[in-house]
Amino acid sequence: MRYRLALAPNTAKPTNEVRAVRDPSTAQAQPIRQTRPNEQLLLGRYRVMSSCGTGGFGTVLTCWDTRLQRRVAIKRMPLAIRGVYSGGAATMSEALAEARTSSMLAHPNIVTMFDFENDHDYAYLVMEYVDGIQIDDVAGLKAAGIDVRRIGERLGENYVKQIVEDGYFHADPHPGNIWVRGGKIVWLD
């Protein structure tokens, strides 16, 4: 084992505490076992749990990451093949640009981008799974004790702040891309 400086929880500030941590470069690789016989894994590691919906640029899947043992959302975008566009197909550079832009945004109210993969037909954006309530599920918001009027006000304030103060904004703000988690708005996609 190697030792490294620990960081204070939820900050980037070092503490005086030193912890033993497993150095991934010295760890023995463990084979990943499939949990079900003949199970097909997306990208060799993600078990598809459900489809969350399909939009203009692809399908969002809820998956289980068999390696890290966590739930993730994967946006599967069809790629334009040999320069031929069909439907909402994106080029590889467009898909990678979206993943790179998303990965630069670090904010608790913006979904976190974990990874980007591709095969010949699709680009895969692996993101944080948000367990929340879709912004237009008024009954669900009220049942969770959330003031829908206040959420509406904060949504408007948040969007104007994105444009005026932050210098970037969510270009596709429909109800499927705006969720409420713990009483706070989370921007997806």
Active site residues: 172
Whether residue 72 contacts residue 115, with contact meaning beta carbons closer than 8 Å, is answered with no
Write out the two tokens for 1. Answer: 């084992």
Write out the E strands in 56-143: 58-65, 70-78, 113-118, 122-128, 133-134
Q: How many CA atoms lie within 13 A of 85 on its CB side?
A: 9
Whether residue 90 contacts residue 80, with contact meaning beta carbons closer than 8 Å, is answered with yes
Rg (CA), the chain: 20
How buried is 76 (Cβ within 10 angstroms: 0-12 exposed, 13-18 middle, 19+ buried)? buried
- Identify any residues that bridge with 116 across adjacent strands, giving them in sequence order: 125
- Identify any residues that bridge with 3 across adjacent strands, giving them in sequence order: 20
